[in-house]
Amino acid sequence: MEFVAYDSILLKLILEVMDNRARMQTKGPLSPFLGKVEQKFGAYLKNLPTEIRGDRLYLSTAFPPVPSKPFKRLVTSQIKRALGFHNPDNLTIMVTEDCQCHCEHCLAHKMGQGEELSKNEIFDVIDQALELGVSQITFEGGEPTLRKDLPKLIEHVDKNKATTMVVTNGQYLTEDYVRRLKESGLDYINVSIDSPYLEEHDEFRGVPGLFEDVTEGIKNSVDAGILTGVLYIARPGNCHRETLERMVNYCEELGVFELMIDKIVPSGRWMGKDVLSEEQEEEIIRFQKEIAEEKGKNLVTNFFQLRRSDFFGCFAGRMWCYVSPSGEVMPCMHVPLSFGNVRKEKLSKIWGKIRGHSLFNKKPETCVYEDPIYKEKYLGHMPEDAPLPYPIEKLD
Ligand SMILES: C[S@@+](CC[C@H](N)C(=O)[O-])C[C@H]1O[C@@H](n2cnc3c(N)ncnc32)[C@H](O)[C@@H]1O
Ligand code: SF4
């Protein structure tokens, strides 16, 4: 089956699905210039799950469906990027600092200082982000479902411009609530799970009974027809083969569309703690491929490989932009540097400051949080007790 993702006189992009796998073809005068992007995206595409709903092809929760206006905007943005103009593809708004969990790794730790953005202020940020060219808006926190007006915030996003996603600990996804989210136009839910073992998950997140609630929440989300993923942050203690196999079975049983594995980052409460070794990363990639072969379809995806320098490179301040609960703008959730506040400056102006900064206007060799200059000059000089994100101008 063929899906036309982009169709202009300069470029035609077609996704063909055969045996549960998508393949990309491009035609038109711009096609030769997209060589590298095409190769990389083509290689990544092979590992993405596919689901056809109506006349649309869903790939990962990381991308808008095909065909759709948001996907077209995403392609336009890649063409502009190949020509040297960067706009963010995804804007993540941390809509609240509140959270009922106490996760051992929480990156949002210390990020909730100051008054939360109001509903109208978030509406304005959404409008500005759409104006900048984003094709996906993600609602996070803290725990986004604790914010009473979340359905209204989702409703505000122009669905002809961007898809919407909620990343949640999943405890409050009751039948009624997910129906409201669906009615508000929500496209994707990603539920965070840190272990397929009930006690381990509850202990890591500091909430007894969480795993059972989350399992119910995932069922409700799948039943409501929202494309539902599980976001699994791999750390040295939870990435053994047996554990991952159990995660795959759990996701399959619940009808989860995608088990997305990302890696733990030494930020927030995980600062200074153990991260994955190279061998563990490679083992996860091998596991992903083996599961795809065994099942005859992709279910497991990994996000960390995408950010490697031989793939797309770090997303911070290039494809990603983050807004803290009080409106501070950061290049990434793991790089707690503020380049300005949306209450005082336009998002486009703040984005321009990120893009012009020496940490972000170069070809990334590593993720910014691994960049020795970031570690020495910036992270190393943030006062320990300071609220985050920390103003960049105090460190430059
Ligand atoms: C900060 S949480 C906010 C949304 C929601 N409360 C949740 O837990 O899904 C977003 C995602 O970041 C992940 N996360 C938190 N700390 C992290 C860290 N140090 N490294 C990598 N991912 C982390 C969480 O597991 C979760 O999947
Ligand atoms: S990771 Fe999410 S659920 Fe856990 S403490 Fe942080 S915000 Fe809360």
Kindly state the helix (H) or strand (E) to which residue 242 belongs, with its residue range.
helix 241-254
Confidence of residue 19 (pLDDT cuts 50, 70, 90): confident
pLDDT of residue 81: 86
**Does the pLDDT at position 39 exceed 90?**
no
Q: Cα separation of 14 and 16, whole Å?
A: 6
Ligand 1 pocket test, candidate residues 99, 167, 263, 307, most atoms within 8 A of CB:
167
Displacement of CA 162 from its chain's centroid (Å): 14
Instruction: Give the number of whichever ligand sits closest to the CA of residue 191.
Output: 1
Ligand 1: list residues with CB < 6 Å.
Answer: 99, 105-108, 140-141, 143, 167-169, 192, 231, 233, 264-265, 267-268, 270
Task: Report which of 134, 175, 137 is spatially closest to residue 157, judged by C-alpha positions.
Answer: 137
What is d(CA 228, CA 32) in angstroms, rounded to the nearest whole number? 36
**What is the rounded radius of gyration, in angstroms, for the C-alpha atoms of the chain?**
20
The SS3 of residue 325 is: coil
* Best residue among 143, 145, 191, 192 to mutate for probing ligand 2, ranked by most atoms within 8 Å of CB: 143
Task: Please give the single-letter amino acid code of residue 264.
Answer: I
Distance of CA 70 to the CA centre of its chain: 16
Across 185-206, average pLDDT: 98
Which structure tokens are listed for 353? 């400051």
Q: For residue 317, give both structure tokens.
A: 């301040």
* Ligand 1 centroid to residue 104 C-alpha, Å: 10
Conformational region of residue 158, where left means phi above 0, alpha means psi within -120 to 50, and beta covers everything else: beta
Task: Please tell me the distance from the alpha carbon of residue 336 to that of residue 317, in angstroms, as a whole number.
Answer: 12
- Percent share of the chain, pLDDT over 70: 100
- Please tell me the predicted confidence (pLDDT) of residue 201: 98
pTM over 0.85: yes
Q: How far is the CA of 298 from the centre of ligand 2 (A)?
A: 28
Q: Are 341 and 322 in contact (CB under 8 A)?
A: no
Q: For the chain, what is the mean pLDDT?
A: 95
User: How many A from CA of 109 to the centre of ligand 2?
Assistant: 8
DSSP label at residue 136:
E
CB-facing half-sphere around the CA of 277: CA atoms within 13 A: 6
Ligand 2 is surrounded, with C-beta below 6 A, by: 99, 101-103, 106, 108, 141-143, 169, 205
What's the CA-to-centroid distance between 103 and ligand 1, angstroms? 8
Ligand (nearest to CA of 95): 1
Ligand 2 atom at shortest distance from the alpha carbon of 107: 6
Is the per-residue pLDDT at 34 higher than 80? no
The amino acid present at 227, given as its one-letter code, is L
Q: Vertex 320, ends 136 and 281: CA angle to 5°?
A: 105
Please give the pLDDT value at position 113: 78
Query: Ligand 1 centroid to 106 CA: how many Å?
Result: 6
